[in-house]
Structure 1
Amino acid sequence: MARSFEDKRSAHQKIAATLRRQITRGDLAPGAKLPSTPALMEMYGVAGTTVQKALLMLKDENLLIGHTGKGVFVKGGTQQAVSPAVYMPPAEAGEPYRWITEAAKRSQHGSTKILEVGPVSPPREIALALGLGEEERALLRKQILLLDDEPTELTCSYYPLDLAEGTAMMDRPKIRGGTPTLLNELGFPPRTFVDEVSSEIPTEEEVVALELPKDMPVMLTFRIVYSDGDRPIEASLLTKAAHKYRMRYRLAVT
């Protein structure tokens, strides 16, 4: 027999969740006008203040916009699907980081902002992924990826120091083509990668870096990149706003 369970969220949170899903999955398209407040009150059986709280949540998430005298309209659209595999190959000679070229294909402006570069004591799962001993350090390259100047992803990528020392990876300036291109030039081409994707409560750093609305979870990807001989060459923690993006994988079935 199924257990009885109650959704203890407030009424406005439940309404916002329903409308958010309709927006992110395309049932409410960009530019669509929402029903009036009285209509939403009748639809959900709640007071006007409850409806307004729900709409305010979605405005804070940049999914809705109000026009005085006209109503409330859908501003954001469906979640943008991210296909990780397209970013893994090294960039072509003279080409920028694939984040930028792939954004251009979608008529978006991609850019990066370096936050931190230097040797650190890595988190435990990173050290295990890279095969590092307890006292070994790794190179951290932390950056924010932006689309049309809006923060999209906080990236914390770690590399074994024996690969990074003496290379441009140790320096703060951006690397032409990104680290995959440089690693390929050093004889460590990316061959395979493993992703573990989870939904997490954001840290303060993630909220500030990604300019997240209140109570919005993040999508956290733990990625390990392997070169020839299954040697791990990179381990990353990639954080995105959960309401804006979805992951897309196409895998052969054997």
Structure 2
Amino acid sequence: MLLMIITTATTATSATTSTMLIQMLMMTAMMITLMIMTMMVMTMVMMMIMMIMMMRRRTMSMMLRRRRTKRRKKWKRRTMWRTRRRTRRRTRMKTRRRTRRRTRRRTMSRRTRRKRTRRRTRRRKRSRTRRRTRRRRTRTRRRTRTKMTKKTTTRRTTMMIMIMTKGTTTTTPPTSITTTTTMLMIVMIMKVVLMMMMLLLLLLLLMSMVMVMMMMMMMMLLFMMMMMIMMMILLVMYVTVRHGQL
């Protein structure tokens, strides 16, 4: 771009007006094409980022939900918790009834009562410990089994991707549709604004062919400004997509 400007500056003094006009037209065409290209690239990048973010979030949440449900089902099948609970309740009820009847028939001494309470507490404690050990065993087994399957590898890869992109493995809930619509609207507005700017530039160029160098400088400045604005918008978009809130 700088070389082009230099060439225009050098040829402006010696060359005729026709060559100047041709050069100006060429420059304008180049600038316009560059602008359009940059805009297209930016929009494409933005759209891609949006799509990737949305898709990944939804898929991740769905995958996690499915896995959780499956795990729960398996756990329920393996350990018959419901049946155990029922049986326990029944036994407890029976014992209570018996004790009540006994108390009605004859009064117990303090010593015997103490003994009985102690026994009960001990039994309960033992049962609790047993339950814990059983649980641990099942968990370890499950881990060893799942390591061999393909599911864990996929999960690992997803986690790695999450760490690489987000920095954390925690999944955020999928962003609402409103955010996406707003993003699209912003993009559309930007496009319209840019188009307007292009038209204005063209008009100015046609109007003042005498102010060649001035126009070139203006074009350069405008281009720089547009680039800056685009960068800012991209940053804003990225932040919004990341945190899922405008």
Q: Verify same fold: TM over 0.5.
A: no
Query: Higher helix proportion, which one?
Result: 2
| TM-score normalised to structure 2 length | 0.23
RCO higher in 1 or 2 (8 Å CA, sep ≥ 6)? 2
Query: Higher strand proportion, which one?
Result: 1
